[in-house]
Structure 1
Amino acid sequence: MAEATAPGKVILCGEHFVVYGEPAIVAAIDLKAHAYASFTDGPGIHVYSSRVSENALKPIHDVIKLLVESKGAKLIDKGLTVSINSNIPISAGLGSSAAVSVASILAVSKLLGFKLKKSEVVALGVKAEEIIHGRPSGVDPTISVYGGMLVFKIGGRIRRIKPARPIELIIADSGLKRSTGVMVRKVSELASKHPAIFLRLRSTARMIVREAIEAIIEGDVEKLGVMLNLNHGLLSAIGVSNTRLEKLTYAAREAGALGSKITGAGGGGCIIALARPGESDRIVSSLIDAGAEAVYKTRIVEVGAR
């Protein structure tokens, strides 16, 4: 048996606009997916998880099959089984599908003795995301593979950034499940109907990311909080928020968060809140009172998939 693990993620700034070539700031978090690969009697590739059906895991099955075929592996009289265990909430904007894909790819690679480059793992992870979401940016598998905090831009070189001081993040899950693909298409329709306005929104998103990077590098958490709030305003403007997400976002701010916003595709899923050192517990309590299905005090992890 071979085992691999891969982290989930939060997007601090830049989601949705990253699909259109703008930069985004993304961080790996300490919620993780684990995959266990083993040989089985009889042919075929089987992927299992106690949380979702085997049919829902078909994109991972297809990518594993692609990996095996591309490397010319011969599974004579035997097959593969991949078992998945993850504590990353599903359909919540925390990169669950990418982490599961990346962990599964790595586990099978270890079992079969493949030495994959990180870029190869990312590319296979993106293929799985394309099947699941339709038009992914690639940010989720990238951060799951590399870990830490990155500035990501489609077609550009990833840039690792190091916070000057610890960043205390709280994640609140709204409990609303949504499809990333549906939300991406919704934004695409808006961009098509109002291209000039959307171009200005993209420019604003780019400036917010730039200022947020500066705040992270300089350790200015007050400024970073403002950038999170501004980014949330853009996400509301493009139609990916709703009353439950707004309630959680403002509950966090009213409890003392420096900033709060949707993280991921929106429409449901999670919000993140930036806390001053030592003030997380009050914000957590407020988010629970505001109706969050689950709340996590999380930390950024430097190590990616392994």
Structure 2
Amino acid sequence: MRILISASTKVILTGEHFVVYGAPALSLPIDKRNFVFLEAKKGKGRIFFKSDRGQAIFFENRFQGKEDFKIFLPLFSFFFKNKIPFDFKINFLSKKVPKGLGNSASLAIALSFAFFKALKKKPRKKDLFYCGQLVDQIAHGGKPSGIDAQTISQGKPQLFQKKFSPLGFSFKNIKIELPPKSSLLVVDTFRGERETTGKLIKKFALSYGISKKPEEMKEKERKKIYQPYLSIFKVILSQLKREGDPEKLGWALNKNHELLKSVSCREIEKVIRIALKNKAFGAKLTGAGGKGGAVIVFVPDEKKEDLISLFKKFDFYSFPVNIDTKGIIEEKIKKIK
């Protein structure tokens, strides 16, 4: 049995860091896709992992090889309990997908979809979300918000917000589109070093003089933190429509980034300077930010290719993205290397 599944990745368009304190945020599934090729045959329960970063094998509770693949082991317990009836070869075929785009959730959901297919079961979105969360919890070293798994399993833009009574996150599918004759680019600023999300959350809190955990703060205290962002968020949301004004949307994205300067870095700022100097509507970091973080650039359609070429001259990998509409799909198998 041979199965090839692809799943979208995601970008956070707005709301980074402020969402921790209860502000609304917006996440988009994008068409930069991850691919998982699964080959299954009856065997002893051996699991072979492979990607462009290395290989590994898991058999009889012993793991050997590239440690990165360990994050996927909980999926086998979820699907097969204590007995794996097949030998699996799993090949992750993603190409140049930067960190910060929900990769662990995307790969987990694609792999889980393949397992459902192998077992001849219909995958439910809530099960795919759960599987994405299982893997993200290990990948991020703690309980994730769920925005990556939710955006990718739903396959639709998400309006999300942290709630404090009771504690949790709310998610809502939302219909949005970019204004006419405009595009989004993602730029990878990785230069061999990345800052962790945990470190960047602390850096953001320090820059705003925050000494308490969000759960320890009164609602009035939390609102004071994100009040300057809230008006910007409303402008962004109001312009994400067919008749939206790209200039206004670009202005709001730039203003959003100004509030995130404490978690930016030299490379992110360089990308944004290049973009704005060359007629982009707006640009901001996406995700936690910091060293190795990604940037989204909002551009006129006619400037898209020029900017991609320009970023390449400065040794930054960039690519255009669209709001994904395909969701998780089974692909035709052609030639798998």
Aligned residues: 298
Equivalent pair of 1:8/1:88 in contact (CA under 8 Å):
no
- Equivalent positions of 1:136-151 (< 5 A) are 136-151=144-159
Corresponding residue to 1:64 among 48, 71, 76: 76
- Equivalent positions of 1:42-53 (< 5 A) are 42-52=44-54
- What is the aligned partner in structure 1 of residue 334 from structure 2? none
Would the alpha carbon gap of residues 127 and 21 (structure 1) be closer, same or farther in structure 2, given more than 3 Å must change?
Answer: farther
- Equivalent positions of 1:1-306 (< 5 A) are 1-40=2-41, 41-52=43-54, 54-69=66-81, 75-76=84-85, 78-91=86-99, 93-133=100-140, 134-154=142-162, 155-163=169-177, 165-166=179-180, 167-176=182-191, 177-178=193-194, 179-187=196-204, 192-193=210-211, 199-217=223-241, 218-236=243-261, 239-267=262-290, 268-289=292-313, 291-306=314-329
- Residues of 1 paired with 2:200 and 2:106: CA distance? 20
- Residues of 2 paired with 1:135 and 1:20: CA distance? 16
- What is the aligned partner in structure 1 of residue 166 from structure 2? none
Would the alpha carbon gap of residues 61 and 206 (structure 1) be closer, same or farther in structure 2, given more than 3 Å must change?
Answer: farther
Look up the SS of the partner of 2:319 in the other structure: strand
Look up the SS of the partner of 1:304 in the other structure: coil
Of Structure 1 and Structure 2, the greater strand share is in 2
Bigger mean CA offset, 9-18 vs 160-169: 160-169
Look up the SS of the partner of 2:301 in the other structure: coil
Bigger mean CA offset, 159-168 vs 212-221: 159-168
Equivalent pair of 2:190/2:293 in contact (CA under 8 Å):
yes
Bigger mean CA offset, 213-222 vs 248-257: 213-222
Would the alpha carbon gap of residues 97 and 185 (structure 1) be closer, same or farther in structure 2, given more than 3 Å must change?
Answer: farther
Equivalent pair of 1:151/1:161 in contact (CA under 8 Å):
no
Q: What is the RMSD computed on CA atoms of the aligned residues?
A: 2.5
Q: TM-score, normalised by structure 1?
A: 0.86
The letter for the 2-side match of 1:18 is V
- Residues of 2 paired with 1:88 and 1:139: CA distance? 22
Larger C-alpha radius of gyration, 1 or 2? 2
* Unaligned residue ranges in structure 1 (runs of 5+): none
* Unaligned residue ranges in structure 2 (runs of 5+): 56-65, 163-168, 330-337
Identity %: 28
Of Structure 1 and Structure 2, the greater helix share is in 1
- Residues of 1 paired with 2:205 and 2:131: CA distance? 25
